A and B are shown apart, each in its own frame.
Chain A
């Protein structure tokens, strides 16, 4: 299905966004149709209505609860090794739905654009969003565009909200960790955080660390196929795996002990952390999840995860115990032990 009329085109002599593109007039209409409607190309958007509309019976056939989430993306730089702000805006919201056990279906896309932003970069970002959405099997069904004065926003901010459906038998919540459960992680930590520090170029490090930015919904659906009773699951974005583990420990009133040896960290990321005095446990990820699962199903689950491209380096990194309640303990490779707390403020580099 497509709209009856052909889509409007932007004037080809205009190469950057101006305030006119946010004014509600013709220029804005040209931008929306040429860049967004054509770029995201789907039947919902092509109707050019103010809202997307869904068939309820199709949704209820998939499960018994709707899941909804929203996230804003302000990453600097917009393009980085392994991804860009558009890819991130889709993977982040898809993953926030998927870790709750939901099948992600529909996304919205709100863009706040600083005047002067190059239109060809906007097209690249839109096409990256479309590609990522297609791969994840989700549709970007409605959107909004605002243009602000130079300096009022940093180049481009994107907000996406997402809707998904949770199947009947799935019940994943942060308060379900039980003593005896084990902690599974789906691969190398810290790649995204390290890639961003690297791409900002402040450090002049000769490195090419790629962000792990990827959608996790197909990995998660294969996990739920073999183990519907996953107790807790979250993606470890800002604040790293340390933050998520603390959230589990606190919500479930349990202790979580992890083994430093078992946590996969790339040599490049470790090296950067050594130089800058950062801790990989707190570095951001954009394609990593932590799951707390019944011990008897852990091995099967691990094997399943390792067969998926987003889970090749999955590992069991720790276990849940009754005590110390609300705390996360790290057994260091060196043979010592320490508490891993939530991060206070931003990780600031140490001077010497």
Chain B
């Protein structure tokens, strides 16, 4: 398939792996203290598992799967708000598909749908606006979530609704931002990450510049990375090469999509509709300052948080969950106490087990479960000794 197979060429993959292996000596790396590289974005995590990239990499390199799965980091209280909105008899609640299974404190959207709520999966907020036009007697709410990648399409939909004077459409805004989150990870005392792969599609919107601070303030290499398997391997090599050369800067591997200054029209739409929230609650990471956006006051008639009464309760993560430590790379997914036993994709307790982009779900689905569980019990024995 054109424009796909070129980026999945096994011969080129072999060559890149050889280049990566060639850096071992200059990196002074070994398997006891491997170099840690974090891919921030859930899309990258998915590619890494789907194409089986991890087993191709040398054992002196470890990938840490970051918090960049917007579905995974959604806190329970927000899911409860969604359910409350969806269960109103006058409401058609629309959402992206993989938000359906995220557990709330009582139920997920999937369960709410089974209980009779009118919940529909859509692929674009524009589909939701179309539903509003077709159902003038219903309130149609779009569950907006995602990083800067999905913000422009939500913003443009709101602007379109305003232009058309659609009064029965609103947005439940749960959009989150990448920069404060990466900063929170970098500021965490347990942080051990050596270099980062930056989220390519976020950068397509915001450009490279917002990530300068990773290199300039924290002295870590960061590479803007695409989503095909060769993109990942090339970016890994680029990040390691920076480490080997003792450089740190923002490099753009995904230049076929990401312009240095991002997408002006997309940024203008975001700026028109959204403003930064003081703080936003993340599952696993807790509250992070300025890490979410809300709708500007001028758009309050399209803001579901203004239009409807919400429970708006803060629900603590289950105590046994170690999502936060996994997200920061302190422990590996299978080292979590509940991984694969009480926390599984069928009954996820923690955020990272929910979406196929979550690190734990990826290990559960694509990894060797019995082997991982055996490794965990060994490491627990080791700790005890």
Residue A5 lies at the interface, judged by CB distance under 8 Å to chain B? no
Instruction: Check if A1 is an interface residue, CB within 8 A of chain B.
Output: no
Determine which of B51, B145, B150 lies in contact with A336 in the assembled complex, contact meaning CB atoms within 8 Å: B51
Q: Choose among A267, A324, A334, A351 the residue that contacts B70 (Cβ–Cβ < 8 A).
A: A351
Q: Tell yes or no: B56 within 8 A of A by CB.
A: yes
> A259 → chain B, closest Cβ, in Å?
12
Of B14, B99, B229, B367, the contact of A339 (CB 8 Å cutoff): B367
A344 surroundings in chain B (CB, below 8 A): 344-346, 365
CB B67 to nearest CB in A, in angstroms, measures: 14
Is there an interface contact between A336 and B55, defined as CB atoms closer than 8 Å? yes
CA gap between A274 and B228 in the complex, in Å: 11
Binary contact readout B41-59 vs A (1 if CB under 8 angstroms, 0 otherwise): 0010010011111111000
**Pair A348/B4 contact, Cβ less than 8 Å:** no
Residues of B with C-beta under 8 A to A348: 97-98, 100-101, 121, 356
Q: How large is the interface on B (under 10, 10 to 19, 20 to 34, 35 or more residues)?
A: 35 or more
Complex-state Cα separation, A335 to B230, whole angstroms: 11
Instruction: Give the residue among B145, B364, B366 with the most A Cβ atoms within 10 A.
Output: B366
Cross-interface CB contact of A332 among B4, B51, B97, B357, cutoff 8 Å: B51
A333: B residues at CB distance < 8 A:
8, 10
CB-nearest residue of chain B to A335? B10
Q: How far apart sit A270 and B5, CA to CA, in the bound complex (Å)?
A: 11
Pick the most buried of A327, A336, A352: most chain B CB atoms within 10 A of its CB.
Answer: A352
- Does chain A have a CB within 8 A of B225? no
Query: Which residues of A (309-352) have their CB < 8 Å from a CB of B?
Result: 324, 327, 330-339, 341, 344-345, 348-352
Using A267-B1, A350-B46, A351-B150 as known contacts, say yes or no to A335 and B14 having CB atoms under 8 A apart. yes
Task: Give Cα A339–Cα B150 distance, bound, in whole angstroms.
Answer: 31
- Is A271's beta carbon under 8 Å from chain B? yes
Contact indicator B1/A271 (Cβ below 8 Å) = yes
User: A274 to chain B: which residues have CB within 8 Å?
Assistant: 1, 4
Task: State which residues 94-112 of B face A: CB under 8 Å.
Answer: 96-101, 110
Interface of A is mostly: loop
Instruction: Give CA–CA (A351, B125) in the complex, Å.
Output: 11
Q: Which residue of B lies closest to A271 (CB)?
A: B1
Residues B17-51 near A (CB distance < 8 A): 43, 46, 49-51
Cα-based distance from A93 to B1 in the complex (angstroms)? 35
Which of A279, A334, A339, A341 is B8 in contact with, Cβ under 8 Å?
A334
CA distance A339 to B368 in the complex (A): 7
Contact between A345 and B346, CB atoms less than 8 A apart: yes
Is A349 in contact with B121, judged by CB distance below 8 angstroms?
yes
Knowing A333-B10, A351-B71 touch, does A338 contact B52 (C-beta < 8 A)? yes
Indicate whether A202 reaches chain B with its CB closer than 8 angstroms.
yes
Give 1 or 0 for each of A188-219: 1 = CB within 8 Å of chain B CB: 00000000000000110000000000000000
Q: How far is B43's CA from A336's CA once the two chains are assembled, in angstroms?
A: 18
Q: Point out the residues of chain B lying under 8 angstroms from A338, CB to CB.
A: 49-52, 366
Q: Are A332 and B52 in contact (CB under 8 A)?
A: yes
User: Given A330-B52, A334-B10: A351 and B146 within 8 A (CB)?
Assistant: yes
Judge whether A203 and B123 touch: CB under 8 Å: yes
Binary contact readout B200-235 vs A (1 if CB under 8 angstroms, 0 otherwise):
010000000000000000000000000001000000
B161 interface hit (Cβ, 8 Å) = no
Q: Which chain A positions have C-beta within 8 A of B366?
A: 338-339, 341
Cα(A140)–Cα(B97), bound, Å: 40
Contacts A334-B52, A335-B56, A337-B52 hold; do A352 and B13 have CB atoms under 8 A apart?
A: no
Nearest-CB residue, chain B, relative to A344:
B345
Per-position 1/0 for B354-385, Cβ under 8 A of A: 01110000001111100000000000000000
Kindly supply a per-residue 1/0 record for chain B positions 100-136, scoring 1 wherever the CB is within 8 Å of any chain A CB and 0 otherwise. 1100000000100000000001010000000000000
State whether the Cβ of B149 lies closer than 8 Å to any Cβ in chain A: yes
Chain A residues closer than 8 Å to B344, beta-carbon distance: 344
Chain B residues contacting A349 (CB-CB under 8 Å) are 96-98, 121, 123
Q: Bound complex: CA of A332 vs CA of B71, how far in Å? A: 27
Closest-by-CB residue of B relative to A279 is B50
| Complex CA–CA separation, A336 to B52 (angstroms) | 4
Shortest distance from the beta carbon of A312 to any chain B beta carbon, whole Å: 21
Chain B residue contacts of A324, Cβ below 8 A:
368
- Give B70-104 interface residues, CB cut-off 8 Å to A: 70-71, 96-101
CB distance from A132 to the nearest CB of B (A): 32
Docked complex Cα distance between A54 and B71 (Å)? 58
Question: Of B53, B99, B355, B367, which is in contact with the most chain A CB atoms at under 10 Å from its CB?
Answer: B53
Q: In the complex the two chains form, is B345's CB within 8 Å of A202's CB?
A: no
Q: Contacts A334-B229, A335-B13, A335-B56: A351 and B99 contacting too (C-beta < 8 A)?
A: yes
Partner of A350, one of B49, B55, B346, B355: B355
Across-interface contacts of B43 in A (CB, < 8 A): 350, 352
On whether the beta carbons of B365 and A336 are closer than 8 Å, the reply is: no
B150 — which chain A residues lie within 8 A by C-beta? Answer: 351-352
> Per-position contact with B for A240-259: 1 when CB-CB < 8 Å, else 0?
00000000000000000000
Residues on B facing A (Cβ under 8 Å) = 1, 4, 8, 10, 13-14, 43, 46, 49-56, 70-71, 96-101, 110, 121, 123, 145-147, 149-150, 201, 229, 344-346, 355-357, 364-368
Instruction: Name 6 interchain pairs, CB-CB below 8 A, sorted by A.
Output: A348-B121, A349-B97, A351-B71, A351-B97, A351-B98, A352-B147
20 further A-B pairs in the complex, CB-CB below 8 A; given A339-B366, A349-B121, A350-B355: A202-B123, A203-B123, A270-B1, A271-B1, A279-B50, A327-B368, A332-B51, A336-B52, A336-B53, A336-B55, A336-B56, A336-B229, A337-B52, A338-B366, A345-B346, A348-B356, A349-B97, A350-B43, A351-B70, A351-B71
